[in-house]
Structure 1
Amino acid sequence: MIELRRSADRGIASFGWLKSKHSFSFGRYYDPAHMGFSALRVINDDEVDAAAGFDTHGHQDMEIISYVLEGQIAHRDSAGNVKTLPAGEFQLMSAGKGIYHSEFNASEKDQLKFLQIWIQPNQFGGEPGYQQKEFKAEPGLTLVISPDGRDGTLQIKQDAYLSQLLLSEHDVIEMPVTAKRNFYLHLITGELELNGTVMQAGDGAKISKQTELKAIATQGPVKALWFDLP
């Protein structure tokens, strides 16, 4: 089964310095039909003005992923991490028993665009953790996050995997699905056809009880995130 979440139907938040589109209920946006999918709780598509950002705030027992599309994030947290996250890199912060952090646009003139993703963990408490890495821009699926940190991936506290999907126009790929798992595809750029269902940039697809899934890049280049979930 494939259930499409159109970009235009996402929740919208605007605070002057921040414009955000919410794939699932978040903050002031509430839709009981879109509370998350499996362990995936949040996908926020954020645009942050120059020199603006999120002041220090706290999290607990959540796996928080940031993926920068344009610009750079200036990150600071209560565990002592002071980092800059440039476009193309993935950041995974395990909140554990509790952590405070701030995220700002590191530029005084350029806009920041990034995806903020929350995944509910299957381990609670414990010390917070911070990981950051750039992965090669190779065609097809590139695993970036896994439960065991295999092959240099970032390690998450959940039976979940995140891959980067890159395709050129007209590329075709058989997606690795099984009826026993749940999958979610978030399309960042391009146009993609999934078993005849056409997706535009910003669209998401909930995929469950699926044994075959063919993806065709009908307009490229295609960039997407592929979630393999319990």
Structure 2
Amino acid sequence: MATNARYIMAYEHTAKPDWWDKSQSCGPIVEQATHLCDLSRYFGGEVDESTVLAHSLEHFEPAGKLSKMPIDESKIPPEQRIPRITCANWKYESGAVGSLTHAVSLQGFNYSAELDVLADGYSLRLVDPYNAPALYFRRPGDDHEEVVRYQNDDPFFSEVANLIDCIEKGPGAAPILSSYDDAVKTYSLTWSIRNASEKSAKKPVSD
């Protein structure tokens, strides 16, 4: 029935200027939120990209001022500076609804990432998939929320290990779980979100 993804970045120590420059990194939705867009598609199905709507909080708006910027953003052309917040929603071909919030707002080191999946009788909430994954869920006819914690789960290690197994052991030894065709659909969704947010974004007032 619905997916709701949230990716809240800790920006204080991200001192790579390229990441803050859309002409270099393509922006946080394409470069960073792609993983949650991919998970959203995995659970929600194909997206009707004509329905994608998005709004952004831009660097020049009062609410977009960051107090612990790790780079000199004045060296990046204003039109290439990344948004601080992007909120998007869309319809899946099934009729279900999807949404995404990406934020550049936390300080320190730890990011916050969650994905909700809602279905008839079910509520699934995946929390902190990058560090200490936990799945909170309710079943049909039950008010009790259960939780499953996945110990020693390192998604980056698993991803790289699977790729190495494919190279070393040959085709079929370790299946690649996403085809290029499917990956391109996620890439297309991220660009639809970025384009929609830029279309609706406020423009800076000239001095």
* Higher share of residues assigned helix: 2
Q: TM-score when scaled to structure 2?
A: 0.28
Q: Which has the higher contact order (CA 8 A, sep 6+)?
A: 2
* Higher share of residues assigned strand: 1
Q: TM-score when scaled to structure 1?
A: 0.26
Q: Which has the larger radius of gyration?
A: 2
